[in-house]
Structures are given as structure tokens and as C-alpha cells.
Amino acid sequence: MVGSILDILKKSDKKLTNEQIAQMIGSTEEEVAGIIRGLEKDNIIVGYKTMINWEKTDNELVTSIIELRVTPQRGEGFDRIAEKIHKYAQVKSLFLMSGSYDLCVIIEGQTMKDVALFVAQKLAPMDNVLSTATSFVLKKYKEDGMIFYNDEEDSRQVITL
């Protein structure tokens, strides 16, 4: 039953009530509420979030992906460095990666300059940070399974040479 509740919550594109979930799995509202409270208490459900298409608002945000190469600390690995980085309010996501870099940091700022200053003043000078590479998100098409655009016809003119 726990797995079914988690699947429903993950796949839903809207907030569901405990009553709706109970109907979907053939249970009672009270039982579902108790299970969800337990999942939240055990930090299995870590939060709920609303997806916003900022491009359609007056509030402009710059999202960037920063690749970090770091030297892991003896006995601590990458965890200590990650703990320092995730405390910054600008950091929206932080991942340990395999491949050519170690950590992937996704941040938001008001301007590209804000992002550049954050990297230059906060991330790059950190002990054990060997290098950074910053990319800016130009357009979001899909995030966390949510599509950010509709199928409107593109009205731009084609330019050929």
C-alpha cells in the first residue's frame, strides 16, 4: 500500500486529497493520512512543490548548471563539501555525479551577473574545489515530468541563406 501511495503522489500533476488517494487504492482516508504522516516523519516524503513557468511571469530568474571538480576530503568523501554548498539559498539542487566532474550544482539568480558572482565568490574559492564550469539554462521544455510549453505553432520566420 505504501508503494501505491508513493507512486500516486509522484505521478500526480495536481495535489490530491487523502480521500482521493484512498479511493484510488481501495483504502480509508484515515489509513492513507496515517501512512503519509509516517512517510513524512521518516523523511521518505521530503516535501511538496509547485512547478512554476517563470517565463510567463514578470519575475525573471536565471537558472544555471555548475559543474564542479573537487578533491574529496579524507574520511568524509564528497559529503562535507556538499554540506557547505547546499546551505546557500541560491542552490536549488545538488548532485554527486559520475563522469568528468564530481558535483552538479543547480542555482537560481536574478541575473547572469548574480550567478557569476556566486560562482566566483562562493564556490570557486572553496577548499578542495579544483574547477568550475557554468552553463545557463536558456529555455525549460520539461522539468520533473512537467511540460513547460504547449503545442502552439511557432510564428517565427524561417531564415535561409
pLDDT digits (tens, 9 = 90+) for 51-71: 777 778 888 889 999 999 999
User: Is 104 within a domain?
Assistant: yes
Residue 80 belongs to domain spanning:
54-140
Q: Which pLDDT score is estimated for 155?
A: 62
Check whether residue 87 and residue 12 sit in a common domain: no
Residues 6+ apart with CB under 8 A from 89: none
How far is 118 from 46, CA to CA, in rounded Å?
27
Cell of 91: 542552490
Q: Which pLDDT score is estimated for 148?
A: 80
User: How many domains does the chain divide into?
Assistant: 2
Q: Which pLDDT score is estimated for 13?
A: 64
Question: Any idea which residue has 558572482 for its cell?
Answer: 117
Q: Which pLDDT score is estimated for 10?
A: 80
Q: Which pLDDT score is estimated for 11?
A: 76
How far is 148 from 74, CA to CA, in rounded Å?
42
Check whether residue 58 and residue 96 sit in a common domain: yes
User: Is 118 within a domain?
Assistant: yes
Residue-wise pLDDT tens digits, 21-45:
999 999 999 999 999 999 999 989 8
Check whether residue 59 and residue 12 sit in a common domain: no
Residues 6+ apart with CB under 8 A from 58: none
User: Is 18 within a domain?
Assistant: yes
User: Is 122 within a domain?
Assistant: yes
Cβ–Cβ under 8 Å, residues 82 and 123:
no
User: Is 156 within a domain?
Assistant: no
Check whether residue 29 and residue 91 sit in a common domain: no
User: Is 154 within a domain?
Assistant: no
Instruction: List, for the chain, all residue ranges whose pLDDT scores fall below the cut of 70.
Output: 13-14, 150-157, 161
User: Is 35 within a domain?
Assistant: yes
Looking at every residue in the chain, the average pLDDT score rounds to 88
Cβ–Cβ under 8 Å, residues 132 and 67:
yes
Convert 83-93 to b/e letters by CB count within 10 Å (16 or more is b).
eebeeeebbee
Q: Which pLDDT score is estimated for 151?
A: 60
How many angstroms separate the first and last alpha carbons of the chain?
60
Q: Which pLDDT score is estimated for 3?
A: 84
Amino acid at 133: A
Check whether residue 59 and residue 133 sit in a common domain: yes
Which residue, among 160, 122, 24, 46, has the nearest Cα to 16 in the 3D structure? 24
Check whether residue 58 and residue 128 sit in a common domain: yes
Q: What is the pTM of this model?
A: 0.72
Q: Which pLDDT score is estimated for 115?
A: 94
Check whether residue 36 and residue 104 sit in a common domain: no
How many helices (H) and strands (E) in the chain?
A: 5, 6
